[in-house]
């Protein structure tokens, strides 16, 4: 009991005193399970104009760990600016950035009948980005799989004047990127969602793609339309 109280006291102190560049590694204990979620105390930086998160609200979510273990009904948000999973621990309480390397998949249960499935994928071969592992929403799975990276980027930097002083802030917004996974297991970055990008990847299926698009009135410039086309191609 004493150890539990000490841990809670230390975590509360850490959340009050930690600065954005001071993020101690601590075990973020999940009290309802034998398995511990690991991560670090998260202090949200406020110098942005725009939403860092894919969904605004905390939602009940399930997590598949790389060990194969499942953890259910944790309050999560996906931060597209950091490409990290943020956990609202109501037991301690506090915010934690979960260790990316320990997560295989997670599901944001945004409605009672629906959930958004995210997976940690390695896109090192498909882009020159220094970031190899990302969390991407699983749009379609099959012979051809389609993934959506709900990335948030800094679009502009400005300053505001307050009490005679200049304060910098950054404007952020969604800049999603898209990937196809093919039979070889490689992830291919799509420059944009349209028919031209798809035909370039699958020139041998040009007639089928054009025919399916016309027959089903598919808009390949939308995520839903692209998902529909990939499902049809997988058949």
Per-residue pLDDT tens over the stretch 104-131: 999 999 988 889 999 999 997 655 555 6
Query: Distance (Å, rounded) from C-alpha 131 to C-alpha 83?
Result: 10
For β-strands 165-174 and 48-49, DSSP reports them as parallel
Instruction: Give, to the nearest 10 degrees, the angle between helix 206-216 and helix 223-234.
Output: 120
Pair type for strands 177-181 and 145-149: antiparallel
Q: How far apart are CA 117 and CA 119, in angstroms?
A: 7
Q: What is the mean pLDDT of residues 216-224?
A: 97
Please provide the average confidence, as pLDDT, over all residues in the chain.
85
Rounded to an integer, the average pLDDT of 123-148 is 85
Task: Quickly count: other Cβ atoms within 10 Å of residue 92's Cβ.
Answer: 17
For residue 152, what are its two tokens?
A: 């948030």
CA separation for the pair 74, 61 (Å, rounded):
5
| 49 pLDDT more than 80 | yes
Alpha-carbon gap, residue 109 to 116, rounded angstroms: 6
For the cut 70, the answer to whether the pLDDT of residue 183 exceeds it is yes
Give the Cα separation of 190 and 178 in Å (integer): 5
Q: Are strands 165-174 and 133-140 parallel, antiparallel or unpaired?
A: unpaired
Residue 93 structure tokens: 């309480």
pTM for this prediction? 0.81
Sign of the alpha-carbon dihedral angle for 220, 225, 226, 228: negative
What does the pLDDT look like over 148-177, one tens digit per residue?
Answer: 999 999 999 888 888 888 888 899 999 999
61-77 pLDDT, tens digit per residue, is 999 999 999 999 999 99
């Amino acid at each position: 009991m004493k150890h539990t109280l000490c841990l809670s006291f230390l975590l509360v102190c850490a959340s009050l005193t930690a600065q954005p560049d001071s993020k101690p590694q601590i075990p973020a204990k999940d009290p309802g399970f034998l398995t511990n979620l690991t991560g670090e105390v998260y202090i949200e930086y406020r110098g942005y104009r725009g939403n860092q998160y894919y969904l605004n609200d905390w939602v009940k979510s399930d997590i598949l760990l790389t060990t194969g273990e499942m953890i259910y009904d944790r309050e999560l948000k996906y931060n597209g600016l950091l490409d990290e999973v943020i956990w609202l621990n109501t037991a301690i309480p506090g915010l934690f950035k979960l260790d990316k390397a320990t997560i295989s998949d997670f599901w944001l249960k945004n409605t009672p009948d629906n959930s958004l499935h995210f997976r940690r994928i390695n896109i090192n071969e498909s882009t020159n980005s220094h970031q190899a592992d990302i969390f991407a929403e699983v749009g379609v799975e099959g012979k051809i799989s389609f993934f959506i990276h709900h990335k948030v980027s800094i679009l502009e930097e400005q300053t505001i004047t307050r009490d005679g002083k200049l304060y910098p802030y950054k404007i952020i917004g969604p800049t999603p990127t898209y990937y196809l996974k093919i039979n070889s297991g490689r992830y291919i970055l799509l420059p944009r969602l349209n028919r031209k990008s798809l035909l370039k990847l699958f020139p041998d299926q040009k007639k089928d793609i054009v025919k399916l698009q016309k027959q089903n009135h598919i808009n390949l410039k939308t995520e839903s339309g692209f998902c529909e086309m990939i499902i049809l191609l997988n058949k």
